[in-house]
Structure 1
Amino acid sequence: MNEIMLNVPGITCGHCVAAITASVGRVPGVTEVRVDVAAKTVRTLGTADPAAVRAAIDDAGYETV
């Protein structure tokens, strides 16, 4: 199982958490998604491709750095 940790500066509230969690949770290979508002990070566990996780975050309307 791999961990992917991404910085997402646009995370500010519970709505952000819900939108990112839903979008990233649909990526094949993602088994767990954790969004931290305070740290402005998204952490996933599973076998997903990091590019697919980034694309899902972009699709949710947020930018990774």
Structure 2
Amino acid sequence: MTPWHDLVVGGLLITPFVGYALAALLGTLVLWPLLRRVRVLRGLARTPFAASALYLCVLALLLVLA
């Protein structure tokens, strides 16, 4: 697997972590309605914490698998 290199946009270096963070955000936005449809979120009192935890889990999974 080829390592990611910094992306240059208008003279600004963007690290690969930004790509992983955006991919994790996209993955979270896809998983959240699925979890709501399966009614996993029904028993949670604080859904913002669950959303943050889901985002961090997806981000960690992307970083480990990259």
| Fold similarity call, TM over 0.5 | no
Which structure has more RCO (C-alpha within 8 Å, separation ≥ 6)?
1
The structure with more strand, counted as a fraction of residues? 1
Bigger-Rg structure (1/2): 2
User: When the two structures are superposed, what TM-score results if normalisation uses the length of structure 2?
Assistant: 0.36
User: When the two structures are superposed, what TM-score results if normalisation uses the length of structure 1?
Assistant: 0.36
